[in-house]
Amino acid sequence: MVSLTEEVAFIEDYIALQKLRLGEDYPIQFEKEGAFKDVQILPLSLIVLVENAFKYGVSQKNKTPILFQLKLEEPHISFVTENFLKENESESSHKIGLQNLRSRLELAYHKKFDLKTEVIKNKYIVILKLK
């Protein structure tokens, strides 16, 4: 396990790198709520979801928003990603990244996590809750 603070810093650096690639005006939000100082988390468990949001949500035609929300709500950590699906998506998803993440979470957290995905009006939403 690693500090959630370190994971947040890694995600912020990754988002900053993507903004360099896409332009500062691309609508990307990372909302954080709670004190993460003493919280431990499985290393690199959140970045998979962040990478997927950029891979499948960035459109060159339309600057569609990407949202990340991280909340500490004792005794849970909640991480939500939202991105619009690209029209005529050339990238085909095999969901291997999500399957690998689920396997890693099962080993680390056993039954004390929930990972859900849903599509609502062309918006792809991933919700991860860790106890």
Structural domains of the chain, count: 1
Distance CA 45, CA 104 (A): 8
CATH of residue 8:
3.30.565.10
**pTM recorded for the entire structure:** 0.90
Give all strands of the β-sheet with 66-73 in edge-to-edge order: 28-33, 66-73, 76-84, 123-130, 113-120
Residue 92 has pLDDT above 60, yes or no: no
Note whether 117 and 98 are within 8 A (CB): yes
- Give the pLDDT confidence of 28-85 residue by residue, as tens digits: 999 999 988 889 999 999 999 999 999 988 877 889 999 999 999 888 999 999 999 8
Does residue 75 have a cis peptide bond before it, meaning omega lies within 30 degrees of 0?
Answer: yes
Distance CA 117, CA 112 (A): 17
Distance CA 34, CA 72 (A): 5
- The model's confidence at residue 89, banded by pLDDT at 50, 70 and 90, is low
Local structure of 19: helix, strand or coil: helix
Note whether 95 and 49 are within 8 A (CB): no
Domain that holds residue 101: 2-130
